[in-house]
Amino acid sequence: MTTAFRKTIKTAGLIGKYQSPEVAESLPLLAACLAESGVRVLVEETLAGQVKVSHGETASYEAMGRLADVAIVLGGDGTMLYVARRLAEFGVPLAGVNLGRLGFMTDIARHEMLAGVRELLAGRFTTEARILLDVKVWRLGVPIFDSLALNEVVVNKGDLGRMIEMRVEVDGEFLYLLRADGLIVGTPTGSTAYALSANGPILHPGVAGIALVPLCPHALSNRPITIGDGSRIEVSLLPPHDGRVHVDGQTRCDALTGDRISVARAHHAVTLLHPPGYNYFAMLREKLRWSEPPRN
């Protein structure tokens, strides 16, 4: 469910994909537009070292989290995933300018960037909350890895050329023993990402669910299942298999036989900002090329 974004924007953070010619071209224009509108501009420090910007101050993610009323992300979905995890604890709303390919989470088209920012400053955007997953890897009762996921957590075979075996439990109840290449634990946001390519269900962001999607299961009866987003999932690697845990395809942990991976809804959430006219189903039709109009 979306609501109007009425907050007065006094400070905006700008974050973009590193080493990108498109970002290098777009960032100075965006910073100038914001500054001319009386908005204080913070440019993420690594990006500021790569792109010359006349308007704006250099800021770390932590400073941006404390000071910014909104963060504008230039790039694709991968950039948005990274930024969302870095700023999750601060609750900064995120607006995305799509400089990537699909752009499921970056709604502002590059050629409409400046007009979109003016709409944002005028209070015409809407907000939408997206859940995060908290993932931990436990070894002999001690946590050795802790991260947040906006799209998915994947437990897979790593570099092995064979299947692995896992025990999967939901809220302490045994679900199944899974022999497969791996298992995806996906959010509604991530249901149109890796999980979709593995024949997982598309979950509307308003659905309070988490999808469990097996990767190439040995038993064809192991099908995707959606559980409540208040559930806790535990995956144990059974002997003699080691594996690997991937978070949003951007960070990972090598797991050993006997390790336990716990996944649950995080306390933090991500707030995405959408431009006027945004519609989730229209976005799906565009990105997935559904329902082309019939030809007479």
Percent of the chain with pLDDT over 70: 98
Is the pLDDT reported for residue 166 higher than 90?
yes
pLDDT, tens digit, 9 for 90 and up, residues 76-123: 999 999 999 999 999 999 999 999 777 899 999 999 999 999 999 999
Percent of the chain with pLDDT over 90: 88
pLDDT for residue 103: 82
pLDDT, tens digit, 9 for 90 and up, residues 39-77: 999 999 999 999 988 899 999 999 999 999 999 999 999
188 prior amide bond cis, ω within 30: no
pLDDT for residue 65: 97
CA-wise closest residue to 103 among 271, 269, 274, 239:
274
pLDDT for residue 230: 97
Higher pLDDT, 198 or 101: 198
Which residues are part of the catalytic machinery? 77
Q: With bands split at pLDDT 50, 70 and 90, how would you rate the model's confidence at 296?
A: low
What's the CATH code, domain 132-267? 2.60.200.30
Is the pLDDT reported for residue 2 higher than 70?
yes
pLDDT for residue 294: 56
Q: CA–CA separation, 103 vs 4, rounded Å?
A: 22
What are the sequence ranges of the domains in the chain?
3-125+275-288, 132-267
Using the Cα atoms of residue 174, residue 175, residue 178 and residue 182 in order, give the sign of their dihedral.
negative
CATH topology of domain 3-125+275-288: Rossmann fold (3.40.50)
Q: CA–CA separation, 17 vs 22, rounded Å?
A: 9
pLDDT for residue 293: 64
pLDDT for residue 269: 96
> What pTM, to 2 d.p., does this model score?
0.93
- Which segment of 130-134, 167-171, 210-214, 219-223 scores lowest on mean pLDDT? 219-223
Q: Is 242 exposed, middle or buried (0-12, 13-18, 19+ CB in 10 A)?
A: middle
Using the Cα atoms of residue 248, residue 250, residue 251 and residue 253 in order, give the sign of their dihedral.
positive
Q: CA–CA separation, 185 vs 224, rounded Å?
A: 10
Cβ-Cβ contacts under 8 Å for 59 (sequence gap 6 or more): 13, 42, 43, 44, 45, 67
pLDDT, tens digit, 9 for 90 and up, residues 241-272: 999 999 999 999 999 999 999 999 999 999 99
CA-wise closest residue to 115 among 178, 243, 29:
29
Tell me what the pLDDT averaged over the chain comes to.
94
Higher pLDDT, 100 or 27: 27
Using the Cα atoms of residue 137, residue 141, residue 144 and residue 146 in order, give the sign of their dihedral.
positive
Q: CA–CA separation, 67 vs 42, rounded Å?
A: 9
Largest distance between two CA atoms of the chain: 66
Number of helices (H) and strands (E) in the chain: give both, helices first.
7, 19
Is the pLDDT reported for residue 184 higher than 70?
yes
Angle, vertex CA 212, rays to CA 210 and CA 218, nearest 5: 175
Determine the 3-state secondary structure of 123 from DSSP. coil
Cα separations in angstroms, 223 against 25, 162, 189, 195, 208: 46, 20, 20, 12, 19
